[in-house]
């Protein structure tokens, strides 16, 4: 049920699948939830501006049923994105959403 959705304004990712796997494993680790329920998405070359210019930037959404720790997750995912793309942490925004179990669908039902 944890989801990480990464939007990057450039195409500075050398191996997208490796990045997706690293994000998935880290989200499972940080939420304490089984990775078999984690989904990771990556969109590159997304038109965006940050601070009034179009220098490379990144927007990340993290959603989960509980187990969200914004401070710890911000540090970890900023480090991963910066190391894999060169986008500096001061050009990364992260939004967090704690989803009620009844509002998260999976396998023809919901989690609550």
Q: Does 2 qualify as catalytic in the annotation?
A: yes
Give the C-alpha separation, 66 to 86, whole Å.
30
Active-site option among 2, 47, 88, 100: 2
Task: Indicate the length of the chain as a whole number.
Answer: 112
The full DSSP string for 51-111 is: TTB-SS-EEEEEEESS---HHHHHHHHHHHHHHHH---GGGEEEEEEE--GGG-EETTEE-
| Angle at alpha carbon of residue 100, lines to 98 and 103, rounded to 5° | 115
Active-site residues: which are they?
2
């Amino acid at each position: 049920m944890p989801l990480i959705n990464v939007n990057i304004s450039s195409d500075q990712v050398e191996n997208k699948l490796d990045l997706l796997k690293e994000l998935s494993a880290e989200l499972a680790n940080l939420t304490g939830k089984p990775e078999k329920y984690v989904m990771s998405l990556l969109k590159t070359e997304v038109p965006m501006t940050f601070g009034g210019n179009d220098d490379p930037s990144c927007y990340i959404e993290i959603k989960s049923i509980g187990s969200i720790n914004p401070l710890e997750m911000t540090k970890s995912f900023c480090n991963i994105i910066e190391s894999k793309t060169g986008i500096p942490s001061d050009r990364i925004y992260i939004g967090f959403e704690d989803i009620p179990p009844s509002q998260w669908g999976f396998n023809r039902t919901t989690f609550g």
